[in-house]
């Protein structure tokens, strides 16, 4: 019988190393441009058109899901942003937000790093959307990010994001796993049965968008390919022997501005030390949640929809799939929980979602006022 509970004392480093000392077989990732240090790299300048057709999009998504689930556990999308001017625009907004928040609070907390050489913007998605909705629209009108989110989580995912800015001298993090179980104490983690440890990674996707070039000396994320495969990993990562192994065996890949990296939240990883002289390493950490899970952050998606709507109406240059990607990052994509007395499913099993309302309003040419009223009516119906 397999163990119903994991415990740090029963973790075996030898079992872990056997898993992580595999080698990626390039034959299993035929669409990757190359495999570097076991990590498949995808050239989105070549693959982006494939995201516009259902069958080729599905093939690519299936390959990504396989890598995240049973392969290296991490993929790099080179050139996820074809045009990086939108990243520069967003960086400028984020710099303003950092300066404003510092003034207001005297610097916020960061759950892993000492403050000083590190700045964090919590909920950078909502803050960007409400500060500069036109930039938010262009930022998330990104079919690569949308396809990757859907590849791991399925449709109707919940986009959240945090900015991490690590300045020269910024220290490295210690190896860890991520949300959900990765954010519980060792004691609490051990109380969840083993099958819940297996399910936790399917509830979130971790990603990072590089807002600047990140050579290794600037400290791009340290990763241990295949470490998501170790089932008791959530109770093992605090052990000294596992941490020591990570420090001597992790890999780092340099990133260019506009690249994105995505990994299984069960992968052992840690932000690297910034030992560069003058690189202010800015990444937008995307944390995408399953429709069925609770995200780490609460977002006022109604306010975000109201802010983005007039810009979406004016954006004649976006393709339908780019617009869908932006709407899915902005609006709630799931119908539940709701009040089924007031909000019964009409013409199906689930009531209309906020994202579907956004798309319908756009298609029907609703005014900003009418859309705002429809959003308010929807919130009213969902109220307990
Ligand atoms: Fe992390």
* 284 plus 307 within the same structural domain: no
Domain final residue pick, 289, 323, 338: 289
- What are the helix (H) ranges across the chain? 13-20, 44-47, 54-70, 85-105, 124-131, 133-140, 143-153, 186-191, 194-199, 233-236, 240-249, 301-314, 320-330, 354-364, 368-382
Domain that holds residue 93: 8-289
Pick from 265, 289, 313: which residue ends a domain? Answer: 289
Tens digits of residue pLDDT in 23-42 = 999 999 999 999 999 999 99
List, for residues 322-349, the tens digit of each pLDDT value: 999 999 999 999 999 899 889 988 778 8
pLDDT score of 145: 98
Q: Which residues surround ligand 1, an ion (CB under 5 A)?
A: 178
Q: What pLDDT, on the 0 to 100 scale, is given for residue 110? A: 55
- Residue 187 pLDDT: 86
Spell out, as residue ranges, where the chain has pLDDT lower than 50. none
CA of 111 to the centre of ligand 1 (A): 10
Residues 230 and 262 in one domain: yes
256 and 372 co-located in one domain: no
Residue 11 CA to residue 111 CA, distance in Å, equals 26
Q: What is the pLDDT of residue 108?
A: 56
Please check whether residue 221 is in contact with residue 270, taking contact to mean a CB–CB distance below 8 angstroms.
yes
For ligand 1, the distance from its centroid to the CA atom of residue 384, given in whole angstroms, is: 34
For residue 320, report the distance from its CA to the centre of ligand 1, in Å. Answer: 33
C-alpha of residue 314 to centroid of ligand 1, in Å: 37
């Amino acid at each position: 019988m397999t163990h119903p509970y994991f415990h740090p004392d029963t973790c075996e480093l030898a079992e872990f190393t056997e898993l992580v000392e595999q080698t990626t077989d390039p034959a299993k990732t035929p669409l990757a441009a190359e495999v570097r240090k076991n990590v498949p790299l995808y050239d989105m300048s070549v693959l982006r058109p494939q995201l516009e057709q259902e069958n080729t999009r599905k093939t690519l998504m299936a390959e990504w899901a396989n890598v995240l689930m049973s392969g290296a556990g991490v993929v790099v999308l080179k050139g996820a942003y074809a045009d990086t001017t939108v990243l520069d625009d967003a960086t400028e907004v984020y710099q303003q937000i950092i300066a404003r928040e510092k003034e207001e609070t005297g610097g916020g907390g960061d759950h892993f790093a000492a403050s000083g050489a590190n700045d964090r913007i919590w909920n950078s998605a909502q803050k960007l959307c409400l500060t500069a909705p036109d930039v938010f629209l262009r930022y998330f009108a990104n079919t690569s990010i949308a396809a990757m989110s859907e590849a791991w989580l399925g449709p109707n995912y919940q986009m959240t994001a945090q900015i991490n800015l690590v300045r020269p001298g910024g220290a490295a993090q210690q190896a860890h796993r991520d949300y959900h179980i990765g954010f519980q104490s060792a004691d609490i983690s051990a109380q969840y049965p083993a099958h819940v440890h297996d399910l936790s990674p399917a509830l979130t996707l971790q990603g990072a968008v590089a807002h600047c070039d990140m050579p290794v000396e600037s400290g791009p994320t340290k990763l241990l390919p295949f470490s998501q495969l170790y089932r008791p990993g959530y109770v093992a990562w605090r052990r000294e022997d596992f941490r020591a192994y990570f420090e001597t065996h992790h890999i780092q890949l340099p990133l260019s501005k506009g690249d994105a990296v995505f990994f299984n939240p069960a992968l052992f990883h840690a932000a690297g030390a910034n030992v560069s002289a003058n690189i202010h390493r800015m990444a937008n950490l995307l944390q995408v949640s399953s429709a069925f899970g609770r995200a780490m952050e609460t977002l006022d998606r109604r306010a975000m929809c109201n802010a983005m709507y007039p810009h979406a109406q004016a954006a004649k240059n976006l393709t339908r799939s780019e617009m869908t990607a932006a709407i899915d990052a902005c609006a709630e994509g799931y119908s539940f929980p709701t009040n089924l007395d007031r909000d019964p499913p009409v013409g199906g099993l689930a009531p209309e979602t906020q994202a579907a309302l956004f798309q319908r309003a756009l298609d029907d040419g609703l005014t900003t006022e009418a859309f705002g009223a429809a959003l308010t009516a929807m919130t009213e119906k969902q109220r307990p």
